[in-house]
Amino acid sequence: MATSIPDTSRPPAMYGRPFLWLLFALALLAVPAIGAMVRSRMPWIEIHPAINAMLNASSAVFLISGYVAIRRRRIQFHRSCMVAAVWTSCIFLASYVARFATTGTHRYPGHGWDKQLYLFVLFSHMLLAVVIVPMVVRALLLARRKRFVQHRRLARWLWPMWIYVSLTGVTVYLMLYHLAA
């Protein structure tokens, strides 16, 4: 009678899979936060920008994790993080366009130096957001085609701009909705 030997070559579901743990951690942060906003009867026009800020923050987490992964030569983890950064950025963009279409522009209520700072952050964020889109597409194509020397050369310029866009997206949200006088 033949007995089957369990397959020990594959680790259990999440063990040794840092990308799944990263997704799990982000869900553990985002889901309760969104749930608390809904339970507090916060209107959708306030929840939606908060979700967009969470998407920008998630993109930043994926970008930083991907950067650390590639420095440690964890290629698969890097790839997963960067693809996730692209997807969260795409979801953010679709969500932002939907928010803009439904509620229009939101003017900063302050009038002093804080408004000047806000406008500087906002315009630099918007300019770089437009600039990085073709660069992200190009970096993805280069990586997919295994042209890693060109990919690395482009990523050295792209990554600082992309992380700036992700972080200033959160900053713009905080300034507009929570810090404005």
Question: Two tokens at 91?
Answer: 């979801």
Count Cα neighbours of 94 within 13 Å in the Cβ-side half-sphere: 5
Can you tell me the distance from the alpha carbon of 136 to that of 151, in angstroms, rounded to the nearest whole number?
10
The pLDDT mean for the chain works out to: 87
Contact 92, 55 (CB under 8 A): yes
Q: Is the pLDDT of residue 26 over 50?
A: yes
Residue 13 has pLDDT above 80, yes or no: no
Say how far apart CA 166 and CA 168 lie, in whole Å: 6
Distance (Å, whole) CA 74 – CA 70: 6
User: What pTM was estimated for this model as a whole?
Assistant: 0.82
SS3 145: coil
- pLDDT tens-digit series, residues 35-90: 777 788 888 888 889 999 999 999 999 999 999 999 999 999 899 999 999 999 99
Topology given in CATH for the domain delimited by 19-179: Four Helix Bundle (Hemerythrin (Met), subunit A) (1.20.120)
pLDDT of residue 23: 73
**Average pLDDT for 14-24:** 65
Helices (H) and strands (E) in the chain, counts: 5, 0
